A and B are shown apart, each in its own frame.
Chain A
Amino acid sequence: MKDELLEKLAEILEVDQVSINDKLESYEEWDSLTALTIIALADSDYNKKLTNDMLKEFKTIDDIVNFIIN
């Protein structure tokens, strides 16, 4: 499940792969629309209510993964 999520995040961020320690701001495609897409992904595929405010606090891929999977 975690690998699958990492793959989906990689696709959204348009990179070959993401690693959990990557800083979100280091991605070229990291912007408000990408954030919105991750919120939509959390909701539709994982039934998790992620908010913009929460996402603003997140620093790394790990923060997103921890929230969505746990």
Chain B
Amino acid sequence: METILITGSTSSIGQEVAIYLSKKYKIILSGRDSSKLSNLKSQLYGENHLIWVCDLIKDDIAHSLLKFLNEYNVKPSHFLHVGGEFTISPIRLQKKEKTLQSFQINVFSAIEIVSILSKKEFKKDLKNIVFFSSISAKRGKAGYSVYSAAKSSLIGLTKTLSIELNPIKVNCFVLGAIKTKATEEILNDNEETLNFQIPLGLGSSSAINDWTTFLLEKNNWMTGQELIIDGGASVL
């Protein structure tokens, strides 16, 4: 059974993907809150899943991951970087500390993890890396500057790592508005407007489940790509 490492696994999208993929894979659930992680683990199919508690902001990620992988003797076949943080702020109020935090959790964390997974002892097992970016990286919206810059960085990593780590496939989801528990409150208020702006309406996590399966399981002859999954919003 192949192993999948999922950061941000207790986020709404992370949870759904983890539960869905646990039918076929051994999942390494990662997040900072051990009780949330244990609770999520109990909802997964099967028994042999693992928990890697790591605070992507405060912890020494590389050290913690290496220790974890050696302790459990696991070598991930796939890495899904769902972990991230959404912030909104006018550029005139942006503080260095907040900017660094956004980049740390959205981008630097992914760099550290990929750095470990592409070392000799893990590289030959690794088949797929999927970064979860956002349509905010592609489209301008006031207040999104730092978030957009951080999520754009994941697209840069996707291009370069697909060459450097070849034949490991590196791709990136560029996600539009998806209705989850976390976004429900905001999206519900604007659902009418949003449905008008999104040809296929608001997205659901099941679309992400299907796309992830497609990347992991099909011979799709695709690497280094950004997949814009936004219900058509960006073509309007």
- Interface residues of chain A, those whose CB is within 8 Å of chain B, are 11-12, 14, 32-34, 36-37, 40, 49, 51-53
Whether B189 and A37, one on each chain, are in contact in the complex, defined by CB atoms closer than 8 angstroms, is: no
A37: B residues at CB distance < 8 A = 88-90, 93, 143
Whether A52 and B89, one on each chain, are in contact in the complex, defined by CB atoms closer than 8 angstroms, is: no
B142: A residues at CB distance < 8 A = 32-33
Q: Closest 10 A-B residue pairs measured CB to CB? A: A33-B142, A33-B143, A33-B90, A36-B143, A40-B88, A37-B90, A37-B89, A36-B88, A12-B93, A37-B93
B58: A residues at CB distance < 8 A = none
Q: Kindly identify, within residues 85 to 105 of chain B, every residue whose CB is under 8 Å from any CB belonging to chain A.
A: 87-90, 92-93
Whether B90 and A52, one on each chain, are in contact in the complex, defined by CB atoms closer than 8 angstroms, is: no
User: Which residue of A is nearest B142, CB measured?
Assistant: A33
A49: B residues at CB distance < 8 A = 185
Docked Cα-Cα span, A52 to B189, in Å, equals: 10
B185: A residues at CB distance < 8 A = 49
User: Which residue of B is nearest A44, CB measured?
Assistant: B87
Residue among A11, A14, A34, A51 making CB contact with B189, cutoff 8 Å: A51
Total number of A-B contacts with CB less than 8 angstroms? 22
Write the nearest CB–CB distance from B93 to chain A, whole angstroms. 6
Chain B contributes a number of interface residues (CB within 8 A of A) equal to: 10
Binary A-proximity of B9-50 (CB < 8 A = 1, otherwise 0): 000000000000000000000000000000000000000000
Whether B89 and A40, one on each chain, are in contact in the complex, defined by CB atoms closer than 8 angstroms, is: yes
Whether B93 and A11, one on each chain, are in contact in the complex, defined by CB atoms closer than 8 angstroms, is: yes
Binary A-proximity of B134-168 (CB < 8 A = 1, otherwise 0): 00000000110000000000000000000000000
A51: B residues at CB distance < 8 A = 189
Docked Cα-Cα span, A14 to B90, in Å, equals: 12
Whether B90 and A34, one on each chain, are in contact in the complex, defined by CB atoms closer than 8 angstroms, is: yes
B87: A residues at CB distance < 8 A = 40
Docked Cα-Cα span, A40 to B86, in Å, equals: 11
Docked Cα-Cα span, A12 to B92, in Å, equals: 9
Write the nearest CB–CB distance from A44 to chain B, whole angstroms. 9
User: Which residue of B is nearest A52, CB measured?
Assistant: B189
B89: A residues at CB distance < 8 A = 37, 40
Docked Cα-Cα span, A52 to B88, in Å, equals: 15
User: Which residue of B is nearest A14, CB measured?
Assistant: B92
A40: B residues at CB distance < 8 A = 87-89
A-B contact pairs, 22 of them (CB 8 A): A11-B93, A12-B93, A14-B92, A32-B142, A33-B90, A33-B142, A33-B143, A34-B90, A36-B88, A36-B143, A37-B88, A37-B89, A37-B90, A37-B93, A37-B143, A40-B87, A40-B88, A40-B89, A49-B185, A51-B189, A52-B189, A53-B189
A34: B residues at CB distance < 8 A = 90
B189: A residues at CB distance < 8 A = 51-53
Docked Cα-Cα span, A51 to B88, in Å, equals: 15
User: Which residue of B is nearest A11, CB measured?
Assistant: B93
